[in-house]
Structure 1
Amino acid sequence: MYQPHVFTLTEDGYRGPVPSWRPGAPSVWLVDTDRAAGAARSLAPGILDASELARVEKLVFPADRDCYTAAHVALRLLLGAHQGVAPDAVRLTRERCPSCGGPHGRPATGGGTHFSLSHTRGVALLAFADAPVGVDVERVPEARVVAEISGQLHPAEAAELSALPQPERLAAFARVWTRKEAYLKGEGVGLAGGLNHEHVGTGPLPLDPPGWSVTDVAVPAGYAAAVAVGTAGRAPAEGHDPRK
């Protein structure tokens, strides 16, 4: 399980370590968006671009606006620190979708850095790597949600869930959901790629789809998270294992 770096934001910005990673090993960062909300609101006008600020204004609930703002301010600060540029100078684009060719594939930036962002109320995760990467964080869902969606998963995953007692099923569903979404985001297709596309498993250890390494991420109680990094054409990383 990956132990993420904790991102700490102050009214003066970010003064922590610069993101770095070994080949094939993503650098994952955890943001407490509630704690960072005040500083993020102050910094956002000078950091976020027009489209991001417009997106904030469209969100109805203050908690959602704070979460989005803190996550995107953190993303630009970390990318800027890694690239050696001001956060407002970071250029964010979208790759072409591998399914339809439209401009809504993986988020991208210059300099060969791959990244992914996910947020839900209270928590955001950011992942950086030298290969395609996807990350996802979610609240552990209610039983109703699990019952409604489990049948859309890979048949083996649906069977695994149905065999579990109810108290264990919610956490297992949260594991497989975040693993699946992290992998699909890494592929650049998101949930449009289909929840039944690959078997990543509901148990304590994820199963790796071809060409990908999927790992759970340590997050606060009540949440689940995972990161997926592309491994196609890459020899296994030697030595350091950030998952321990």
Structure 2
Amino acid sequence: MSRVVGTSGRREDLGGDAGADGLVTWRLAGVAVCVAPDADLAGGSVDRLGLEERIRDESTPSDRRPAYRAGRLLLRHAVAQLGEDPGELALSARCETCGGLHGRPRVTHPVALRHLSLSVSHSQGVTAVAAATGRAIGIDLEARSDAGVPAMPDGFSTLAEWTRAEAVLKADGRGLRVDPLAVAVIEDAEGVHATIGSDRRRYRLVEPALLATHHLAVALAIDPPSG
């Protein structure tokens, strides 16, 4: 098992420690982030998954199944790090655009855990997940390039900019249905936070330095939604 790392959220405190199995767990108050290579979890038992998750596992192409399974098993580890029992946990995912069995994971059972917010990200053989109590969370993981800065979407010049934007849009819930360039990031004495367009909701951004090979960003809602 990996050592759990608590942090105040300051950038210089955001390191983690990997266990022998490659799993890294990072903690903040009411938040758990877990990262691991897909290969380390792909052999995990699907018996721990809910019915819908097992159906999705069976229907996922074989080349993507390790990442899917790693995400679902890591989410259970993250829930346990929050002091909750994931033994009866069942998760659902529904695309708001097409209705397919994909998209943001949500707790369907037990009802007592439906207050948890969950997020998953995959990148080149590694999966990262985040779980939070009572507030929206989003996570994005992107692999660094051995050749330098990888190709960025239009309007973004660094991996940090892109992962921050994606994490915020995942926490928002609309994902890439919103233009990532609408995410405005501000760094000040209080830390790093972001907004989306004219929305009043703000998101706290933290970037745990857990892997040398990947950049990770986590967005936490800190204000109520606009309305």
With structure 2 as the length reference, what TM-score do the two structures score? 0.67
Q: Does structure 1 retain, via aligned residues, the 8 Å contact 2:17–2:210?
A: no
Q: Deviations over 1:89-111 (max 9, x none)?
A: 213246996xx8x8987533243
Give the gaps of 5 or more residues in structure 1.
Answer: 162-171, 234-244
Q: Deviations over 1:183-207 (max 9, x none)?
A: 0000001111111111237xxx855
Distance verdict in 2 for CA 1:92–1:54, change over 3 Å: closer
Aligned residue in 2 for 1:123 = 126
What is the letter of the counterpart of residue 35 of structure 2?
L
Q: Does structure 1 retain, via aligned residues, the 8 Å contact 2:41–2:69?
A: no
Give the gaps of 5 or more residues in structure 2.
Answer: 1-10, 196-200
Instruction: Name the CA distance, whole Å, in 2 between partners of 1:6 and 1:143.
Output: 25
Q: Does structure 2 retain, via aligned residues, the 8 Å contact 1:178–1:225?
A: yes
Q: Does structure 2 retain, via aligned residues, the 8 Å contact 1:136–1:225?
A: yes
1:178 to 163, 180, 190: 163
Matches within 5 A, 1:5-84: 6=18, 21-22=28-29, 26-38=31-43, 40=44, 43-44=45-46, 46-62=47-63, 64-79=64-79, 82-84=83-85
Distance verdict in 2 for CA 1:106–1:4, change over 3 Å: farther
Instruction: Name the CA distance, whole Å, in 1 between partners of 2:61 and 2:103.
Output: 26
Distance verdict in 2 for CA 1:125–1:58, change over 3 Å: same
Instruction: Name the CA distance, whole Å, in 1 between partners of 2:52 and 2:16.
Output: 28
With structure 1 as the length reference, what TM-score do the two structures score? 0.63
User: The residue matched to 2:139 in structure 1 has which SS?
Assistant: strand
Aligned residue in 2 for 1:135 = 139
Aligned residue in 2 for 1:215 = 206
Instruction: Name the CA distance, whole Å, in 1 between partners of 2:104 and 2:67.
Output: 21
Instruction: Name the CA distance, whole Å, in 1 between partners of 2:119 and 2:19.
Output: 15
Q: Does structure 2 retain, via aligned residues, the 8 Å contact 1:178–1:224?
A: yes
Q: Deviations over 1:132-161 (max 9, x none)?
A: 1000112236889726x22xx3xxxx4xx3
Distance verdict in 2 for CA 1:55–1:95, change over 3 Å: closer
User: The residue matched to 1:200 in structure 2 has which SS?
Assistant: strand
Instruction: Name the CA distance, whole Å, in 1 between partners of 2:119 and 2:20.
Output: 19
1:107 to 83, 105, 109: 105
Instruction: Name the CA distance, whole Å, in 2 between partners of 1:144 and 1:61.
Output: 30
What is the letter of the counterpart of residue 41 of structure 2?
A
Question: Which is richer in strand?
Answer: 2
Instruction: Name the CA distance, whole Å, in 2 between partners of 1:91 and 1:61.
Output: 22
Instruction: Name the CA distance, whole Å, in 1 between partners of 2:149 and 2:86.
Output: 46
What is the letter of the counterpart of residue 128 of structure 2?
L
The structure, 1 or 2, with the larger RCO (C-alpha pairs under 8 Å, 6+ apart) is 1
Instruction: Name the CA distance, whole Å, in 2 between partners of 1:218 and 1:20.
Output: 13
- Larger-Rg structure: 1
Distance verdict in 2 for CA 1:207–1:229, change over 3 Å: closer
Q: What's the % identity of the aligned pairs?
A: 23
Q: Does structure 2 retain, via aligned residues, the 8 Å contact 1:21–1:129?
A: no
Aligned residue in 2 for 1:197 = 182
Q: How many residues align?
A: 194
Distance verdict in 2 for CA 1:118–1:186, change over 3 Å: same
User: The residue matched to 2:166 in structure 1 has which SS?
Assistant: helix
Question: Which is richer in helix?
Answer: 1
Q: Deviations over 1:165-197 (max 9, x none)?
A: xxxxxxx2x211111111000000111111111
